[in-house]
C-alpha cells in the first residue's frame, strides 16, 4: 500500500507498521494480531426484531455494533465520514476490540472498507491501545507513534478522494496530536463503492475465530456524520447494529441525531 504523509501537526509524522494474522497474545510484541472484517450477519436473530421480540429496525451482527448508513441518496456516494469518541477503560478478563469509522464494508458493499480507528486490548488487567488504518481486504497498518490512553478523546475522519485513493485523519483532542495519511487501494477489486458509512465497535478475529469481547462499558460516537459532496447525512438516518453471539446480545446500540451509543451487554 502506498503511504504518503502530507499533514504534520505538533511535529507529528505518522509511522506505520504492517499488521497481519498471528497469535493474539503476541500482539504486544509483534503488533500483528489485529484482524478487522466486514459486517457479518448473525444467524441468531432476524431482521424482523431482536431476540426479545420487540419491534426495531436494528441489524444483527456477530462482530459489529454501532451505527450504519446503508445507502447514500440515489446517484451519490459517501466520500467523507467523521466522528469523535472517548477511549474506553476496559475491565475484567482478557479481550480485544476495535473502535473505528469507515466507508463501505456494510451489507451493500462488503468487498472493501477504508477505515481507521483504535484497537483496545486488556491483558492481565492492563489496558493497551493502538491506532491503525486499513483498506480491506489488505492487512491493516498500525500507526506506531500516535499515542492513545484510556479516556482520551479521539476524532476520526475518512475521506475518499476517488474510488482508489483516500485520506485518513486521527486527532487526539486530549493531547493535541494530529496527523493524516493518503492511502491507495490494494487493487481495483477493492475500489470503494461509497454505499455504506459506519461508526463501529468491532469484536476482532484470531485464527478464524472471534476473540473475547472485553467489558468496555460504553462507547459513544458524537458528531457522527457522512457526506456525499452534495448532502450531509447524520447517523440518525441509518440503522443501529447490535452484536449477537451464541444466541444472546453482547453489545447493543442506539442512535440519536448525530450520536451513536454502543453499550456492553
The CATH number for 3-43+58-264, chosen from 2.40.30.10, 3.90.1310.10, 2.60.120.700, 3.40.50.10860, is: 2.60.120.700
What's the pLDDT score for residue 234?
74
What's the pLDDT score for residue 1?
24
- Mean predicted confidence (pLDDT) in 134-144: 89
From the number of C-beta atoms within 10 Å of its C-beta (0-12, 13-18, 19+), residue 97 rates as: buried
Supply the residues annotated as catalytic.
202
More reliable by pLDDT, 95 or 18: 95
Of 238, 232, 165, 163, give the one whose Cα is nearest residue 198.
238
Q: DSSP per residue over 115-170, as a string?
A: EEEEEEEEETTEEEEEEEEEEETSPPEEETT----TT-EEEEEEEEEETTEEEEEE
Asked if pLDDT for residue 83 goes beyond 70, the answer is yes
- Mean predicted confidence (pLDDT) in 77-90: 97
Per DSSP, the three-state class of 235 is helix
Asked if pLDDT for residue 33 goes beyond 70, the answer is no
* Percentage above 90 pLDDT, the chain: 63
Domain spans of the chain, in order of start: 3-43+58-264
pLDDT band at 5 (very low <50, low <70, confident <90, very high): very low
What's the pLDDT score for residue 265?
93
Average pLDDT score over the chain: 83
Q: Is the dihedral of CA 181, 87, 32, 35 positive or negative?
A: negative
pLDDT band at 201 (very low <50, low <70, confident <90, very high): very high
The per-residue pLDDT for range 140-193, each reduced to its tens digit, is 888 989 999 999 999 999 999 999 999 999 999 999 999 999 999 999 999 999
Q: pTM of this prediction?
A: 0.85
Amino acid at each position: 500500500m502506498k503511504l504518503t504523509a502530507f499533514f504534520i501537526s505538533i511535529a507529528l509524522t505518522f509511522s506505520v507498521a504492517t499488521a497481519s494474522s498471528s497469535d493474539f497474545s503476541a500482539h504486544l510484541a509483534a503488533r500483528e494480531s489485529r484482524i478487522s472484517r466486514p459486517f457479518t450477519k448473525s444467524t441468531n436473530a432476524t431482521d424482523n426484531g431482536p431476540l426479545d421480540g420487540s419491534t426495531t429496525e436494528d441489524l444483527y451482527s456477530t462482530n459489529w455494533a454501532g451505527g450504519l448508513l446503508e445507502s447514500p441518496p440515489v446517484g451519490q456516494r459517501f466520500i467523507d465520514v467523521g466522528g469523535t469518541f472517548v477511549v474506553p477503560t476496559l475491565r475484567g478478563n482478557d479481550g480485544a476490540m476495535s473502535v473505528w469509522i469507515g466507508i463501505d464494508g456494510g451489507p451493500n458493499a462488503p468487498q472493501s472498507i477504508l477505515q481507521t480507528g483504535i484497537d483496545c486490548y486488556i491483558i492481565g488487567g492492563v489496558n493497551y491501545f493502538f491506532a491503525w488504518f486499513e483498506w480491506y481486504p489488505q492487512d491493516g497498518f498500525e500507526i506506531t507513534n500516535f499515542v492513545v490512553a484510556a479516556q482520551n478523546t479521539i476524532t476520526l475522519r475518512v475521506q475518499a478522494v476517488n474510488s482508489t485513493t483516500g485520506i485518513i485523519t486521527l486527532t487526539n483532542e486530549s493531547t493535541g496530536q494530529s496527523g493524516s495519511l493518503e492511502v491507495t487501494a490494494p487493487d481495483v477489486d477493492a475500489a470503494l463503492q461509497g454505499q455504506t458509512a459506519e461508526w463501529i465497535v468491532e469484536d476482532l478475529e484470531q485464527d478464524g475465530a472471534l476473540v473475547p469481547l472485553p467489558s468496555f462499558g460504553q462507547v459513544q460516537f458524537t458528531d457522527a456524520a457522512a457526506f456525499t459532496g452534495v448532502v450531509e447525512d447524520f447517523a440518525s438516518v441509518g440503522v443501529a447494529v447490535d452484536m449477537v453471539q451464541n444466541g444472546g446480545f453482547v453489545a447493543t446500540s442506539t442512535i440519536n441525531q448525530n450520536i451513536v451509543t454502543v453499550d456492553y451487554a
